[in-house]
Structure 1
């Protein structure tokens, strides 16, 4: 993409990836400005500040903002701190709580990208009177617009750092003015470049480990959410007591504290109405079909790719499996897929992402 002195706003998080994105864009001739979103408002009184731990939301936010300002100063570019606290509270935190209370498993990072980083942050920045032609982040992903029948969001060159799963809910309109400067680079090369230009402090900085700085999502909930109930087996037999459904997710094995079972048991399902957590052996956790809603279709609905075998991912870190689309309701925003091989623990609330080669063709929120 030619710069032609176009103005690009770079989302500076205080980490090496966004810092090097700003550096590279300025070197390419863009007029670069830095923007850092502020989400922390102190409303979670019991969230501790964990020294040395990086997270997107928490009382250590001021440190990240200060580091983002350092990047801007080194590059000689303007920097703006943009408050999106209310939007973040409503679109990410409230969503996260509601999903767990409903017995589902949310992905807050996907939600944040969809509604905050590539949504509310843009709007809030422009309301401050700051205009820009493009928006860039340090995500590891690639964008190519060819024709409507082909994907436009592609996996990064560095497979180990690819972040397209997190970006799978973004639309063509949202991505039409986005630049990912690191999509064609290896993470090791990014760190090496940071050291080469004298930014060793960023090259050696720890990466963000979670969306919460403290790493304990239970601090987001009220004491009333810790309502004990029964662990039951597939036949309804009571196996023990749980400490509240917000502490469990489909496929979980650790932290159940149930003894005397013939084999390891996992969370099979969560019955909100009965306040029960259903447990069972691994053998009952497999599925070959998944339904999803809130479809985000990244190709035309008549694209031949949708008739071909695809690679399906049902959660972050899932290796992916060959799958076929068995039902597609674009108007209703629904999709169903069948896996060639049974998959473990598909959790409602998680994101189904379908790839054709390196490109994403569709995503949806798993319902069943």
Structure 2
């Protein structure tokens, strides 16, 4: 068990009953983070049950490497549970994951949008369905291995960024509801990754040195285009590339190969300055390109909002998981950036913060270009 300086006590989990009478469900992907979350939960003295979601059919799972919730990962999660002496269940969510995440991912690409499947997964099978399963088991807490923190202030649970900014995963959890947060606990949210691995090694867990999953879990080789072409073959139809004035400047080999802000692969000659994808028009199979300044966005209309905090006016916003929060104003569901932003596209998640606290977020439906002459970011 971990040392006293990092051990999670039962009181840390803020469960209003004695440990001996409490039941904790741990979501286990087969990676080191969720395994250490289970280790810390088991150390509290409560009854702990590990649950792993099978997101691919058995044939596909056996072939996958580097993806979570696949064949090897299910085996690893089971081994960790055996080591910790806790029960382990595997739930078959393959069809729900395909419909709610993979199909939506392909649809977004076909519509010229920039999808964020990790947020979709957390809003669906990862939290919604696991939350329901934990309630069925009469659990007092649902523990996950996310690098975020649950902070209770004035009797209300808040979701805060992970203590380690390099590992913070709050961007992908903006869709968490108040009801879910009442049950959720994040015992590694205060820890850096190196310490998590050290705890796993100290406890003799087989996943201590296991590499993190890379890219999108259902595209472990990073070849998104191949998946989308197979599911939505219309996306590989060639089409025109036009400039902002509508003049044809080239051709492309399918919109599936491009997202807004992309420069690589355009292969346009004769331009005095680099050109980027400014807009994708899927019905016309057309790419609209322009200079970097044309990517400057002053506002974004956001839909499907989810709020964990108050609906405030002056906030900080992230439009990509690895970007720094920027100042903005909220106005009837529209985010108005204080300074023009780049790399903002329909389909992305816009996540709103007040310092360390996550207030909420939603999906970007439409963007508004910055006016000519506006102050542009470098």
State the TM-score, normalizing by the size of structure 2: 0.86
Query: Is residue 2:43 matched to residue 1:27?
Result: yes
Select the residue among 128, 139, 142 that pairs with 2:146. 139
Query: Is residue 2:325 matched to residue 1:320?
Result: yes
CA distance in 1, matches of 2:157, 2:80: 33
RMSD: 2.2
CA distance in 2, matches of 1:110, 1:130: 25
1:183 Cα deviation (Å)?
0.9
Residue in structure 2 matched with residue 36 of structure 1 by the alignment:
52
Residue in structure 2 matched with residue 331 of structure 1 by the alignment:
none
1:351 Cα deviation (Å)?
0.5
Contact residue 55 and residue 214 of structure 1 kept, 8 A: no
1:131 Cα deviation (Å)?
4.3
Residue in structure 2 matched with residue 216 of structure 1 by the alignment:
223
Pairing of 1:122-133 with structure 2 (within 5 A): 122-123=131-132, 130-133=137-140
CA distance in 1, matches of 2:304, 2:149: 23
CA distance in 2, matches of 1:164, 1:311: 13
1:49 Cα deviation (Å)?
4.0
1:50-82 CA deviation, whole Å, 9 max, x = no partner? Answer: 6xx51237xxx1111000011001001111110
Contact residue 348 and residue 367 of structure 1 kept, 8 A: yes
1:167-222 CA deviation, whole Å, 9 max, x = no partner? Answer: 011111122100101111111111122222233x4221110112222221223333
1:331-367 CA deviation, whole Å, 9 max, x = no partner? Answer: xxxx112222211121101000111010011201111
Pairing of 1:9-24 with structure 2 (within 5 A): 9-24=25-40
Query: Is residue 2:241 matched to residue 1:234?
Result: no
Contact residue 253 and residue 265 of structure 1 kept, 8 A: yes
Pairing of 1:34-183 with structure 2 (within 5 A): 34-41=50-57, 49=63, 53-56=65-68, 61-123=70-132, 130-147=137-154, 152-183=158-189
Contact residue 103 and residue 271 of structure 1 kept, 8 A: yes
Contact residue 232 and residue 238 of structure 1 kept, 8 A: yes
Report the 3-state secondary structure (helix = DSSP H, G, I; strand = E; otherwise coil) of the residue aligned with 2:360.
strand
Residue in structure 2 matched with residue 350 of structure 1 by the alignment:
348
Report the 3-state secondary structure (helix = DSSP H, G, I; strand = E; otherwise coil) of the residue aligned with 1:346.
coil
1:92-123 CA deviation, whole Å, 9 max, x = no partner? Answer: 01111111111111100000000110012344
1:248 Cα deviation (Å)?
1.3
Report the 3-state secondary structure (helix = DSSP H, G, I; strand = E; otherwise coil) of the residue aligned with 2:76.
helix
CA distance in 2, matches of 1:358, 1:220: 36
1:197-253 CA deviation, whole Å, 9 max, x = no partner? Answer: 233x42211101122222212233333331111111111122222122222111112
Residue in structure 2 matched with residue 294 of structure 1 by the alignment:
304
Query: Is residue 2:257 matched to residue 1:279?
Result: no
Report the 3-state secondary structure (helix = DSSP H, G, I; strand = E; otherwise coil) of the residue aligned with 2:79.
helix
Listed as ranges, the gaps of 5+ residues in structure 2 are: 1-13, 367-378
Residue in structure 2 matched with residue 191 of structure 1 by the alignment:
197
CA distance in 1, matches of 2:234, 2:340: 37
Q: What count of residue pairs does the alignment treat as equivalent? A: 345
Contact residue 265 and residue 280 of structure 1 kept, 8 A: yes
Listed as ranges, the gaps of 5+ residues in structure 1 are: 329-334
State the TM-score, normalizing by the size of structure 1: 0.88
Residue in structure 1 matched with residue 19 of structure 2 by the alignment:
4
